[in-house]
Structure 1
Amino acid sequence: MILMKDVYKTYSNGVTALSGINVDIKQGEFVYIVGPSGAGKSTFIKLMYREEKPSSGTILINDMNLAELKNRQIPLLRRKIGVVFQDFKLLPKLTIYENIAYALEVIEEPQANIRKRVMDVLEEVGLKNKARSIPSELSGGEQQRVSIARAIVNRPQIVIADEPTGNLDPDTSWEIMKTFEDINSNGTTIIMATHSKEIVNTMKKRVIAIESSMIVRDQDQGEYGYEI
């Protein structure tokens, strides 16, 4: 599913963000990426949807080698991957329906299919009654659920989430995590970078810990392992 072999990433300013990364993530897994700020978590995440390119090594997603991927092939990769960000990244002047539909329009999904699929995912995240609202009319938790709906609308095999509860209160964070767990239960691979000790320690999943650019721990049913 996702295989990294001897991956290094050094930026143009000489900073090495990742060093000797080896990891194998199977279809349907739920994986937390944890570690101190600046350890390399965001770079690790960005490599998987080719926001960043490795300096050396191999990254395979379903036998597609991201290290050798041409720029024109990146949209094809991203059809298989949904990405959820901490700050939602919704288009402020579009309705909730339009924000989600846009993700299908850019991959040229037939219009006949778009309405049903958008309404289906809005129902899945509990926001069917908000289709005509704009983002500013929604709470932070509702906006994050819209961003999740947008990430899964084209039925990706993988959802990558970078600190998806970082701007949310505890109760709303648990609602968002329940949504992710439901998505994972349908067979979608979830990879989530997080600083939430409570979430990681309560929802026991695989934990990959990154420190000083290297993987220092990879545990099934792992714990957060850091003081907040």
Structure 2
Amino acid sequence: MIEMTDVSKVYKNGVTAIDSLTVKIDQGEFVYIVGPSGAGKSTFIKMLYREEKPTQGKIVVGKFDLMKIKEREVPLLRRYVGVVFQDFKLLPKLTVYENIAYAMEVVEKTPEQIEKRVFEVLNLVNLKHKARMFPNELSGGEQQRIAIARAIVNMPGILIADEPTGNLDPDTSLEIMNILEEINSQGTTILMATHNSQIVNDIKHRVLAVENGRIVRDQLEGDYGYEA
């Protein structure tokens, strides 16, 4: 569950990125975040995993009150909130297996637990056969699938996907969406920031449209609503 109440974010240069925003997202929802460049989408999602701190308001993510959370608790929050980035952020000197395993090693899982879970998520993204390869040996779509596997390996309650199809062709984008749909069907809440109008229009979910730091449209089974 995500609840933001009267949240604002003003940067030191005086720019207001988020302006008195209030929204609630229930566990298990799949929500698109859309809007023009500079609308505040990135700040909106960065606040959910404490990459940015709000200037005012209240943010609750699962059991975490982000206005009261201590710095030592932030790693716990980030186990609960998985993040997938447009540029993958894979570690180039580690194999596919090692990239995913690393996310479990930092939370001190046993080698047996790690091996079992890593191959579970590799199966989910259909890349078990690439476990010993390095990121530069993979296509962009394969790298994104590995990034998703890494983000969900610790079974987060929420998965944030920031433009996960931004650098991918339509067929590969559809593969990524199928994986996200499967993850969502297992109970994980998904927030996906995107400019991909075709995906939003074809694969219907709740749409939050952000403009000038405010939610201007909150629509179940919504459309993209902007010029492609």
The secondary structure found in structure 1 opposite 2:22 is strand
What corresponds to 2:145 in structure 1? 145
- Number of aligned positions between the proteins: 228
What corresponds to 2:216 in structure 1? 216
Question: Which structure 1 segments of 5+ residues have no match?
Answer: none
Shift in Å at residue 77 of structure 1?
0.5
Matched, 1:36 2:36: yes
The secondary structure found in structure 2 opposite 1:117 is helix
CA distance in 2, matches of 1:60, 1:113: 30
What corresponds to 1:178 in structure 2? 178
CA distance in 2, matches of 1:64, 1:176: 29
What corresponds to 1:163 in structure 2? 163
Question: Which structure 2 segments of 5+ residues have no match?
Answer: none
Matched, 1:11 2:45: no
Matched, 1:56 2:56: yes
In angstroms, what is the RMSD of aligned CA positions? 0.6
Q: Can you list the C-alpha shifts for 1:134-181, whole angstroms capped at 9, x where unaligned?
A: 000000000000000000000111000000000111110000000000
The secondary structure found in structure 2 opposite 1:94 is coil
What corresponds to 1:120 in structure 2? 120
What corresponds to 2:206 in structure 1? 206
What corresponds to 1:22 in structure 2? 22
Structure 1 runs (4+) deviating above 2 angstroms are none
The secondary structure found in structure 2 opposite 1:149 is helix
CA distance in 2, matches of 1:151, 1:142: 14
Q: Report the TM-score, using the length of structure 1 for normalisation.
A: 0.99
CA distance in 2, matches of 1:173, 1:46: 23
Q: Report the TM-score, using the length of structure 2 for normalisation.
A: 0.99
The secondary structure found in structure 2 opposite 1:42 is helix
What corresponds to 1:225 in structure 2? 225
CA distance in 2, matches of 1:132, 1:112: 18
Alignment of 1:77-92 (within 5 A): 77-92=77-92
CA distance in 2, matches of 1:127, 1:177: 16
The secondary structure found in structure 1 opposite 2:12 is coil
CA distance in 1, matches of 2:62, 2:190: 15
Matched to 2:55, the amino acid is S
Shift in Å at residue 112 of structure 1?
1.9
What corresponds to 1:103 in structure 2? 103
The secondary structure found in structure 2 opposite 1:79 is helix
Shift in Å at residue 63 of structure 1?
3.4
CA distance in 1, matches of 2:102, 2:46: 22
Shift in Å at residue 70 of structure 1?
1.6
The secondary structure found in structure 2 opposite 1:126 is coil
CA distance in 1, matches of 2:6, 2:110: 41
Shift in Å at residue 62 of structure 1?
1.9
Matched to 1:111, the amino acid is P
